[in-house]
Structure 1
């Protein structure tokens, strides 16, 4: 599993370095940033306060577009493109504004304005009728952030089409909320908090790439992923001197993108009074000041960019700057910025085909693991063919042991026998003269293979191991089981956590207890965990985390010969590649499923032939059932047997490494295989 370095630790380390590092040698005085004149200034707001703006673009006549500007205690104001105030709304203390045009809702679409009410510490949503210069609030109650709001931006997911708002708070968090409209009323569903650091403020999101940028005033500019199931680790775009090119305070951020081109990022470097531009690759592309025509910018706050034409004065769009000193808003033509800084024309970005993004929703989630942190890991499904509704999922808690869940996600049993990492099961193993369902797990506490009998009547596990079955590994990790169609023998395969070493043992009856006998050893090369054996075809699938998915023979004399199914990087996978399972169809057909953890999705290949790639899918939130999606998945398992109306074509169980909405300890999500097949059509 990928290790994530805590951002706070990075920040502390940088801080420590800055205090202990010797003074930097004096450098030549940098060249003065060129000045660009604003083409327009609005009238000052009613209370001479300016913090943020948004633009409604008139699709029929861009020159008739409208500015929505925050006027603090004076409320929300509208200006036309002459700078004149055309309307004012006093019902709130407006701090930050976002406009979303053509938002689909209730079978139609309309324009939304999402505004932070600084007095209430909340978000309010309005239906915008720009032609009539009217706003109609549609939130039944303000969306309470319960903290001072220091920034606001929105994101329309390319994965699900959902609209999200990010509110930066005084406590250094970025709160992500889903904004929805149902029956004409708007509301918010809290999704997650992203640690952003004290001083986090302005933000902007690129809908096309899903990249969220935010400024931390005294530290720098950061990027994180905006998708709710994404990793919240952040990447520095630029830092305050001496670690970067910025001066203390960093404020407003905005993006310029046309069509499918890559985006330029613009940042207000308030410490130097300049505006820094970053290329689509994140490299500094120049800086400028806004002065001339008696329209100098004094103290810039929020930035807004419109990439579309706003008429003859702004043929390629405009940068809108909130000037706190003068209490008004300055507009700079983007073509003036591009010409002055000689910005290269952005390279077009290949758009993903609509069919490439496939999503399914979970039908059930299990109770959270008892252990905090990285705990839940790998599931195994037992099917009750007499009464499918009594089928269970056995899941590992790698800080505690094993959990048994029913098909509603309720925990039936906890087996606190050690740090169980991976688990698998097979039916029909003969022990003490009787066929049983045998369950195997890697036990990292005792460095052994733990073996259990599953009782179909009580749906409980009991140990049947002949003592502690030493794995020979310092840290046993991944595990899968195999029943040979050739010999009828049962096997356990497991690997270590570091070097990709695999061992295969034959299961044997030793005086009525289950034991193991080593029959094979081989090495895949680097760290691996997930594996799955195809009992009918005699094949073994192994996920080498940073390399790809391999196919071996599952027989004890199979050796090290292998075939690459897919690769990381040059193929369709992104590290880490984790859990693997086999979906059995008829006549040797079916599917191989793998956790493509680096993309928070799942890759599917055909079981037959050369394992042709079928597609990928994401598991996203099921709002109707109040179940979040799954991400950072380690283990998974799938069965093809029908398990009732919810799972008519079988069940896929995936570990959820983040478990959002609400934020809880890790768990497992149940997905209908029929939903997966429908999504991949």
Structure 2
């Protein structure tokens, strides 16, 4: 069997499997009588396989790819307005930037480049200007734009099925392509569109069907079938065009054109018509008529049809409230372990030279890493599967601070001493009577150093860290046990108030008066339940930002990739934000955060009002192992308008 035959057979087998997934949709019956075109726009020497409607200066136009003349702009009346005589173009994407400004991405086969152009108006006449170009290793089969947080993202998928997401943005001399992530589809992708309203990328891939996946790179792909090939009853399909205003997704399939409700996957099409005379590869709606284009054609056929009304969901649609975004300021080197490995950070503030402070971060597959404030890896302690880490300053003859990390390899707590010079020493492992040490937070009680440690499937233990004179005689003394309702990882203690805050991952934030609990006089209080808006399960990392007259409890809301701020006692929600892309520094944002830590200390010119460090579950730009993102508190305060 040839390689090509093998790949085709594999795709057909997968198509059969996909057709069995989810609710079965009855295949639409073909219209009994093909509809005849009402008229046609006859073009000259265009040879086009894609069209898109757009408007300029109050007039309607069609933009067409041309295998002979690059791009061709035609007035709705049929009059050709301009052509970009510069190569062979079969595929393009277009996005409106302003009222009379359109961004175009196209693949030029002659130069093997992905190119950006700007279509706008000068003195009442359309013009196309060059913006940027990028060489590609394979011809591009599909391109589509997306709007995300005020940025323009471009998805480009080549003929081998390898896709890339780019941020395309202006610079001083020319626009740039900044890579975000790769995407993998396999061969025979024919087209794509982005539904920005629902945050979905839709990709047509005969003979499998139409895929739907989350457009945001900081979310799980959540790939699912929007329409299976078996429901389309055609082997050749894929000319996608999305009418944003009506919520109708238009698709060409064989000799038919159909429209789907973009809001409802795996539903029968709302509109199906069989066309006479042509088998369209591209279709769209303009001026109340259906426009269709055959492959490598010089004619745009116009059909008079009854168009479907806007989807009911579009009429009732209310966009979700946009969570404010704060740009990342820096990042650490990726952890050495692949997969879900980075977990929890801690910050050691150097009291003599704050700019020489350290970030400690766990690699829960191998040990504890130490970074400087620029994110450079300084040292790694391969001490096992350490999950959470925390530290506090203390008075000791040799060390100025002690860090503790829960260790799941040999159940216990690994201790580390930090010297005044910022050097770490491993003080060894102290075993616990616990099946799986998970969450951990350290605090000071007078002159004593204390720690809470949670069992992943059990209770929390309160322990005293008893100092030793050497490295081997440190010990842990169990003080009390706190039953919890379900899994707890994130926790933090307000040392001054002697209050423990811990996160029940699916429940919310609990608060406990430690002294009263030890005396048998208090139980935890649920002060901020998971509500799907301020907190979305899982509740993960926690930290305190302590200012002179204003302190905040900062919590990772993992389910919606955000960070929630509460008042010091946790009773009042202050605001929330997401960590976003920083194009100036080529940094991606953060998502699916496990642990975090925050400090109000002025850490040099980079972080004059303090620093937030968060674990990044999906490290992009480029895609690498997980790491930790650094965020200036000054930027958070400005974005949320904190006093």
Bucket of the pairwise TM-score, normalised by the shorter protein? 0.7 to 0.9
C-alpha distance in 1, partners of 2:18/2:173? Answer: 57
Matches within 5 A, 1:64-213: 64-102=59-97, 110-129=101-120, 131-139=124-132, 142-157=133-148, 159=149, 161-183=150-172, 185-213=174-202
Query: What is the CA deviation profile of residues 94-122 of structure 1, one whole-angstrom value per residue up to 9, with x for unaligned ones?
Result: 12222333359xxxx94322222234443
Select 2:338's aligned residue among 339, 348, 372.
372
Select 1:504's aligned residue among 462, 465, 469.
462
Select 1:324's aligned residue among 295, 319, 322.
295
Q: Give 5+ residue unaligned stretches, structure 1.
A: 1-10
Deviation of 1:36 after TM superposition, in Å, equals: 6.1
Deviation of 1:663 after TM superposition, in Å, equals: 2.1
- Whether 2:534 is the aligned partner of 1:575: answer no
Query: What is the CA deviation profile of residues 33-78 of structure 1, one whole-angstrom value per residue up to 9, with x for unaligned ones?
Result: 476665553325625341x222321353xxx211111122442212
C-alpha distance in 2, partners of 1:386/1:647? Answer: 16
Assess, with a 3 A threshold, how the Cα gap between structure 1 residues 514 and 138 changes in structure 2: closer, same or farther.
same
The answer to whether the 8 Å contact 1:38/1:291 transfers is no
Matches within 5 A, 1:183-582: 183=172, 185-241=174-230, 247-258=234-245, 263-270=247-254, 273-291=256-274, 296=276, 298-304=278-284, 313-314=287-288, 320-324=291-295, 326-331=297-302, 336-338=306-308, 344=312, 346-352=314-320, 356-428=322-394, 430=396, 436-457=400-421, 459-465=422-428, 468-484=429-445, 488-497=447-456, 499=457, 501-509=459-467, 512=470, 513-555=473-515, 557=518, 561-582=523-544
Assess, with a 3 A threshold, how the Cα gap between structure 1 residues 184 and 33 changes in structure 2: closer, same or farther.
farther
- What secondary structure, in the 3-state scheme, does the structure 2 residue paired with 1:198 have? coil
Deviation of 1:418 after TM superposition, in Å, equals: 1.0
- What secondary structure, in the 3-state scheme, does the structure 2 residue paired with 1:399 have? coil
The answer to whether the 8 Å contact 2:162/2:184 transfers is yes
Matches within 5 A, 1:640-651: 640-651=600-611
Assess, with a 3 A threshold, how the Cα gap between structure 1 residues 557 and 163 changes in structure 2: closer, same or farther.
same
Aligned residues: 623
Deviation of 1:171 after TM superposition, in Å, equals: 2.2
The answer to whether the 8 Å contact 2:459/2:481 transfers is yes
Assess, with a 3 A threshold, how the Cα gap between structure 1 residues 56 and 256 changes in structure 2: closer, same or farther.
closer
Q: Give 5+ residue unaligned stretches, structure 2.
A: 1-8
The answer to which of 383-392 and 279-288 deviates more is: 279-288
Deviation of 1:166 after TM superposition, in Å, equals: 0.6
Q: Which TM-score applies when normalising by structure 2? A: 0.88
- What secondary structure, in the 3-state scheme, does the structure 2 residue paired with 1:674 have? helix
C-alpha distance in 1, partners of 2:18/2:541? Answer: 44
- What secondary structure, in the 3-state scheme, does the structure 2 residue paired with 1:385 have? coil
Partner of 1:7: none
The answer to which of 283-292 and 82-91 deviates more is: 283-292
Deviation of 1:29 after TM superposition, in Å, equals: 8.8
C-alpha distance in 2, partners of 1:149/1:524? Answer: 54
Assess, with a 3 A threshold, how the Cα gap between structure 1 residues 37 and 505 changes in structure 2: closer, same or farther.
farther
C-alpha distance in 2, partners of 1:76/1:30? Answer: 35
Q: Which TM-score applies when normalising by structure 1? A: 0.83
Partner of 2:616: 656
Deviation of 1:21 after TM superposition, in Å, equals: 11
Assess, with a 3 A threshold, how the Cα gap between structure 1 residues 661 and 368 changes in structure 2: closer, same or farther.
same
Deviation of 1:224 after TM superposition, in Å, equals: 1.8
Query: What is the CA deviation profile of residues 626-681 of structure 1, one whole-angstrom value per residue up to 9, with x for unaligned ones?
Result: 22222222111001111122111111111122221122222212111011010001
Query: What is the CA deviation profile of residues 521-554 of structure 1, one whole-angstrom value per residue up to 9, with x for unaligned ones?
Result: 2343333322211111222222222333332334
Deviation of 1:212 after TM superposition, in Å, equals: 1.4
